């Protein structure tokens, strides 16, 4: 299954932070293997959320391209050269949760525009490798101006659209990206239960099913965990917390998001398979 996390306003809607939390909650509940990737280079990437700031050892051997061996960039270069075997992918995976959650790190050794071009050129081959080696691929997808974003959204079995309670962001999405809606579920980030534009009003105003909307309240402790590379520890610590715990509402919403997203992705895949059988 291919699940794209995307937003028309990524910086305001916590796309990466939501993906990190949902992916952890998902593998704690379901026996799936999940690989996480990004289609852009960023200092605030998923690797930092899982492991804190780290330094990639660059390959300086004579006659070797300077990013052949490191991170997603090195993997793309190998795919471009036709080296698209399972062992090639395995050597670039970083295990986050034993036998269940994996991430392909960024080495950040090339310019964003070069990465964008090479990612777009190799994406379909990369996607086939990921599907052969994991049950689910979750993609942290750039909002705009990336060559591969349109392809990712087209290929995804499910699009998790990350929004917030700001009307101009909601209006922009439902006015300009309505083609995404049929295979989407919606996360409302930093959700304020007292705000006038609540999930019921969003559902009514924009005519989307209430069950397709997941409200995730803001949580300062999780934000700190995300910034300092301890999201796995945070989710593990509070995964079974009780209602009197200040993190309960956030954890409950993450569990609900993981359940809704995986069940909807499974449904979409089955519907796609049925439609192909009927052709």
The predicted pLDDT at position 62 comes to: 33
The predicted pLDDT at position 54 comes to: 46
Of residues 9 and 110, more confidence is placed in: 9
How far apart (Å, rounded) are the C-alpha atoms in residues 199 and 94? 37
User: What confidence tier does 279 reach under pLDDT thresholds 50, 70, 90?
Assistant: low
User: Does 120 score more than 50 pLDDT?
Assistant: yes
How far apart (Å, rounded) are the C-alpha atoms in residues 249 and 243? 8
- Comparing 54-68, 124-138, 145-159, 249-263, which segment has the lowest mean pLDDT? 54-68
How far apart (Å, rounded) are the C-alpha atoms in residues 32 and 98? 12
Write down the mean pLDDT value for the chain: 91
162, 167, 168, 189 from 205: Cα distances, Å: 17, 11, 13, 18
Measured over the CA atoms of residue 126, residue 149, residue 180 and residue 249, the dihedral's sign is positive
How far apart (Å, rounded) are the C-alpha atoms in residues 241 and 235? 10
Longest CA–CA span in the chain (Å) reads 62
Number of domains in the chain: 1
How far apart (Å, rounded) are the C-alpha atoms in residues 31 and 161? 24
Name every residue whose Cβ is closer than 8 Å to that of residue 40 and which is 6 or more positions away in sequence.
112, 115, 116, 140, 142, 146
Which residue range(s) make up the domain with 149?
Answer: 2-278
Mean pLDDT value of segment 155-168: 97
27-86 residue pLDDT tens: 999 999 999 999 998 888 899 899 875 433 333 333 334 345 568 999 999 999 999 888
Name every residue whose Cβ is closer than 8 Å to that of residue 140 and which is 6 or more positions away in sequence.
5, 15, 16, 19, 36, 37, 38, 39, 40, 45, 46
The predicted pLDDT at position 61 comes to: 33
Q: Among candidates 223, 226, 220, 219, which has minimal Cα distance to 53?
A: 226
Mean pLDDT value of segment 161-174: 97
CB 4 within 8 A of CB 160: yes
The predicted pLDDT at position 269 comes to: 93
CB 80 within 8 A of CB 122: yes
Go through the chain and tell me how many residues it has. Answer: 279
Range with the largest mean pLDDT of 99-113, 190-204, 263-277: 190-204
Whichever domain contains 222, its CATH number is 3.40.50.300
Q: What is the pTM of this model?
A: 0.92
Mean pLDDT value of segment 145-169: 95
213-257 residue pLDDT tens: 999 999 999 999 999 999 999 999 999 999 999 999 999 999 999
């Amino acid at each position: 299954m291919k699940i794209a996390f995307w937003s028309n306003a990524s910086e305001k809607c916590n796309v990466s932070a939501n993906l990190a939390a949902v992916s952890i909650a998902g593998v704690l509940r379901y026996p799936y293997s999940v690989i996480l990737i990004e289609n852009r280079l960023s200092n605030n990437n998923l690797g930092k959320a899982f492991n804190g700031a780290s330094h990639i050892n660059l390959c300086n051997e004579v006659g070797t391209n300077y990013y052949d061996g490191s991170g997603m960039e090195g993997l793309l270069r190998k795919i471009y050269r036709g080296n698209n075997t399972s062992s090639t992918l395995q050597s670039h995976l970083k295990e986050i949760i034993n036998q269940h959650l994996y991430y392909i790190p960024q080495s950040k050794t090339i310019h964003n525009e070069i990465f964008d071009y090479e990612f777009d050129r190799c994406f379909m081959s990369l996607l086939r490798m990921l599907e052969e080696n994991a049950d689910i691929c979750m993609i942290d997808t750039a909002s705009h101006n990336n060559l591969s974003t349109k392809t990712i959204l087209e290929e995804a079995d499910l699009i998790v659209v990350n929004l917030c309670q700001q009307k101009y962001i909601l209006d922009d999405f439902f006015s300009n990206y309505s083609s995404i809606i049929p295979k989407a579920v919606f996360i409302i980030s930093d959700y304020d239960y007292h705000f006038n534009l609540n999930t019921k009003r969003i559902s009514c105003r924009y005519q989307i099913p209430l069950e397709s909307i997941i409200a995730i309240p803001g949580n300062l402790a999780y934000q700190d965990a995300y910034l300092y590379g301890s999201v796995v520890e945070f989710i593990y610590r509070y995964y079974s917390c009780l209602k009197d715990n200040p993190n309960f509402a956030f954890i409950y919403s993450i569990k609900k998001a993981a359940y809704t997203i995986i069940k909807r992705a499974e449904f979409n895949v089955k519907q796609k398979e049925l439609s192909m059988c009927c052709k």
